[in-house]
Structure 1
């Protein structure tokens, strides 16, 4: 399940190291192609709201296997897109359909004991984070040597193979909601209204992912300029730096099972702040960018994993709808960060990017200290 989570979520992030090549391919400005990852994240948020709650109503294995048809079709549409508009629409549907990781995470929580739920979520998140970060490395290399379209063809092929594997290996779990689809969606709003810990965790997560998205959306633009003069493969190689942070963050789930979650969040935000400070002084230093990327990924994912440990505490039967509330806000935050990152780069270059990224990290701390410390 963790491997599948990583492979599917990767579809949402192949585009980031390829933005420069896409801009040249369609002869448009960098600010225009930055809409591609933003639309992917918006599509993901929409898919979270419309598809993920169905995991509480329908047998999840059938739901997951059916959704793969739409993933594959969307990837192929992106691969053959003849203009930027078509690629943008295809990217939206890639995000919309690639929400399956958010069905796997609640499954892992459901199958785990209370004492090991945080560790299980941490394992799932390690798979997801390696997929998110490794996707950039793969797509950067493929884009530099085979062109950006090849990456989408390769991704579609991987999804076909994964469908076969999941059909054989994925367990079946009986759904726990018996109402209709309208009642299911209405219940999502109810979860938001009646669970204060969920609301605060979702807001922390939105600002957290915005900070993360700002960096990864604009990094390729920085590396293509002086003094680096690097291509998409160099931008993608930064995924290796992020994977170090992701593996370290996998231990946060175990810590969250044992220690004060409020203190873990505060320590994580401090790491985020330090990372942006280092990145701000590293506009001409590859080593500084690598160190900053490692720390940023570690801090951001530590907040995220702690948030999920909090919202799944007690193994609630509404776990998919709870996860929907959290992840919709999380990816709305990511889309916002992507948009602001593109604007910050266009108008203020790297210093603007770092100020914006650091500001979102600060907002995580403000929300937590102001509202969340008593809701651990």
Structure 2
């Protein structure tokens, strides 16, 4: 976009392209979760060590959100999107060919760094959408993101059961590669919003953190809910493969369908937040997460209970996220991309911590320790939401 050439309207075709690209980008973070049992066997590492893979991926994503997202305000976002998409293709292909567990750990970090492409695509949709349709168009792109998170597990589990885990990453690399020319042709150039230097952009995010108490509360509460979210999904494949359930990667991946059911309902929380206020929805979401994990920790082992838990706590986490975004975006409209970077970076730091803690607790105390962690994290989030 230039000052003399207005952006083309964000039509249905471009919205679908952005939603698809966002879904594929964020899916790259989650392919590993139903594959952990297979990877543990192939590389001969235990449940605690194999938990490094989702931990490093989420940590890489959180760090890159904090350090790279401000560049979208400084440079042409289309160029950044294409460069990150190419980097993601390379990282996925590197993962598919990884000869050792150490190399796989490095590839996991690379995937996390490049998958921040998703956080460039959503602001692009917000910039291109007409004001009267902005909420609708951004919501459609966010639906792609949520489905990418949850259906990635279904796809990874099914493909791995038929063709092996390397085929999951090879296929993902091909899918993203096919989108690159479409993104380059479909997106216009974006005029930089600021000429501030990189260091100044980073410092501005620190100032936003210290200035806005609602931002700190939202980030910390959502970060704790992300601990619970990641602890469950990062250990699910290992739990299902254990003696209590005896299931393989295909069943672990199919749990993504249960999570998707919760995520598709969660956008309704936005309308509820408008009517009742976001804090009420945030507290209700955190309470759902607590109840789901408390039930899993205390009830007898049951595959059907795990399905219900996945639906309920995913609904709670996504409802809280939508409402937290409503709170954060209202603080300073001129700094929304950086406010989002702060919120998402803390959220994914929580996911990295959840993956690490969940794997360690599973290895040391058994599978019931994981939902106990989730319930405790949800209680912490509830406590934060009640602070003023």
Instruction: Give the alignment's TM-score, normalised by structure 1.
Output: 0.94
- CA shift, 1:119, in A, is 5.5
Worse overlay, 311-320 or 143-152: 311-320
C-alpha distance in 1, partners of 2:229/2:301? 20
Name the structure 2 match of 1:232: 249
Worse overlay, 33-42 or 22-31: 22-31
- CA shift, 1:87, in A, is 0.3
Kindly indicate whether residue 328 of structure 2 is the aligned counterpart of residue 311 of structure 1: yes
Q: Are the aligned partners of 1:275 and 1:296 in contact in 2 as well (CA < 8 Å)? A: yes
Kindly indicate whether residue 341 of structure 2 is the aligned counterpart of residue 347 of structure 1: no
Q: Are the aligned partners of 1:18 and 1:232 in contact in 2 as well (CA < 8 Å)? A: yes
Give the alignment partner of residue 339 of structure 2, picking from 322, 343, 359: 322
Name the structure 2 match of 1:96: 113
The secondary structure found in structure 1 opposite 2:45 is coil
Kindly indicate whether residue 150 of structure 2 is the aligned counterpart of residue 133 of structure 1: yes
- CA shift, 1:182, in A, is 1.7
Name the structure 1 match of 2:294: 277
CA, structure 1 residues 210+226, in 2 after alignment: closer, same or farther (shift >3 Å)? same
Kindly provide the CA deviation profile for residues 9-57 of structure 1, in whole angstroms up to 9, marking residues without a partner as x: 0001000100111111111112111100000001001111221111111
Kindly indicate whether residue 197 of structure 2 is the aligned counterpart of residue 209 of structure 1: no
CA, structure 1 residues 277+122, in 2 after alignment: closer, same or farther (shift >3 Å)? farther
- CA shift, 1:187, in A, is 1.6
Name the structure 2 match of 1:299: 316
Name the structure 2 match of 1:257: 274
Name the structure 1 match of 2:306: 289
Kindly indicate whether residue 285 of structure 2 is the aligned counterpart of residue 268 of structure 1: yes
Name the structure 2 match of 1:24: 41
C-alpha distance in 1, partners of 2:273/2:21? 24
The secondary structure found in structure 2 opposite 1:99 is helix
C-alpha distance in 1, partners of 2:153/2:50? 16
C-alpha distance in 2, partners of 1:203/1:349? 27
Worse overlay, 64-73 or 174-183: 174-183
Name the structure 1 match of 2:202: 185
Name the structure 2 match of 1:73: 90
C-alpha distance in 2, partners of 1:108/1:201? 24
Q: Are the aligned partners of 2:361 and 2:370 in contact in 1 as well (CA < 8 Å)? A: yes
Name the structure 2 match of 1:332: 349
- CA shift, 1:122, in A, is 4.1
Worse overlay, 49-58 or 272-281: 272-281
Name the structure 2 match of 1:107: 124
- Pairwise CA RMSD of aligned residues? 1.9
C-alpha distance in 1, partners of 2:304/2:72? 43
- CA shift, 1:7, in A, is 1.2
Q: Are the aligned partners of 1:139 and 1:148 in contact in 2 as well (CA < 8 Å)? A: yes
Kindly provide the CA deviation profile for residues 68-99 of structure 1, in whole angstroms up to 9, marking residues without a partner as x: 12111111111111111100011001001100
C-alpha distance in 1, partners of 2:132/2:327? 13
- CA shift, 1:239, in A, is 0.2
Instruction: Give the alignment's TM-score, normalised by structure 2.
Output: 0.91
Unaligned ranges ≥5, structure 1: 372-376
- CA shift, 1:281, in A, is 4.4
C-alpha distance in 2, partners of 1:142/1:246? 23
C-alpha distance in 1, partners of 2:224/2:307? 22
- CA shift, 1:174, in A, is 2.2
CA, structure 1 residues 116+199, in 2 after alignment: closer, same or farther (shift >3 Å)? farther
Q: Are the aligned partners of 1:103 and 1:320 in contact in 2 as well (CA < 8 Å)? A: no
Number of aligned residue pairs: 371
